[in-house]
Structure 1
Amino acid sequence: MDSIFHEKQEGSLCAQHCLNNLLQGEYFTPVDLSSIAQQLDEEERIRMAEGGVGSEEYRTFLQQPSGNMDDSGFFSIQVISNALRVWGLELILFNKTKLSDGSGGFLH
């Protein structure tokens, strides 16, 4: 490796910059991450509809903004995780508190 790739922070696109810096190249754009977020939103909508499209929970869900992205450039951890899967990588979450499964904080 001749040099280290570093994408400077622009706006609130932390997820994009984090992914590109980790992968050492310009691999993800806001449009790419938005596409992943929209796919997750659709999957969530389908799952919520299984409880009945006439239910109060479903109507409330439809009125809420996306939890996977917003106009500021925020992308959820689920979007980041799905983006990494494109590269065959898995996001392993770490929590400071010890988990009940005795894993010492690592989720597998």
Structure 2
Amino acid sequence: MDSIFHEKQEGSLCAQHCLNNLLQGEYFTPVDLSSIAHQLDEEERMRMAEGGMASEEYRTFLQQPSGNMDDSGFFSIQVISNALRVWGLELILFNSPEYQRLMINPINEKAFICNYKEHWFTIRKLGQQWFNLNSLLTGPELISDTYLALFLAQLQQEGYSIFVIRGNLPECEAEQILGIMRVHQQQRPRLIGEDEAQTMRLKTQRIIKHILTN
């Protein structure tokens, strides 16, 4: 598991973590993604200007905040799509009726990225095993082949948008190592902060117990 690249959550940079965990390396920085977002904003501005720079629609557009990024570090699906296009990768909406009609077994795919309420995370196959590389976890979470479809179905029920990654992912160390050996996970990773919260709860309980018995 040590060979698996896993960026943990910093601020609201889940889109960066999602992309880097997918590509298995420090491929994108906030500056890189901001540059893509600004380029998309400029393309949208130019399209709006075609209708006349004096038009009410154009003036309203200029007053609106960017739909591709915000100050918290959130980036849109358009930014992620353009970032992946650099590596010859494309996104297909897994939730769409068109894709579902293909009846493709999820284990035959290479990776998925998921989004709900502005949080992005990656599910990727490395070697012959699947891993949940959510940046909110303390480490990679092993997902069995039999559980993968159930996990994706659960995410859909919770309202997640799921995208299939198509194309050749960059070579990585984890792919090479896990291609010749399988890993086992005795203990699943916890959510970041969960251990600290549990410690704080126990400490609070001890304090209350001490107060009540004295």
Instruction: Report the TM-score when normalising by structure 2.
Output: 0.45
Q: Deviations over 1:43-89 (max 9, x none)?
A: 00000000111110000000000000000010000000000001010
Choose from 100, 107, 126 the match for 1:104: 100
What is the Cα-based RMSD across aligned positions, in Å? Answer: 1.9
1:1-108 aligned at under 5 Å gives the runs 3-95=3-95, 98=97, 102-104=98-100
Higher fraction of strand? 2
What one-letter code is carried by the residue in structure 2 that aligns with 1:94? Answer: F
CA pair 32-59 structure 1, distance change in 2 beyond 3 A: same
Q: After superposition, what is the alpha-carbon deviation per residue over 1:76-108, rounded to whole angstroms, capped at 9, x for unaligned?
A: 000000000010101112325x3xxx553789x
Count of aligned residue pairs for this structure pair: 102
Query: Taking structure 1 as the reference length, what is the TM-score of the superposition?
Result: 0.87
Structure 1 or 2, whichever has the larger Rg, is 2
Residue identity over aligned pairs, in percent, reads 88
Give the match's secondary structure for 2:38: helix
Question: Distance in 1 between the 2:93 and 2:31 partners?
Answer: 25
Runs of 4+ in 1 over 3 A off after TM superposition: 102-107
Q: Which secondary structure state, in structure 2, belongs to the residue aligned with residue 91 of structure 1?
A: strand
> In 2 relative to 1, CA 35–55 (structure 1 residues): closer, same or farther, beyond 3 Å?
same
Structure 2 CA distance, aligned partners of 1:71 and 1:95?
A: 29
Verify the 8 A CA contact 1:94 1:105 in the aligned structure 2.
no
For 2:64 and 2:45, the matched residues in 1 are separated by 11
Task: Tell whether the 8 Å contact from 1:20 to 1:27 is kept in structure 2 after alignment.
Answer: yes
Structure 1 unmatched ranges of 5 or more: none
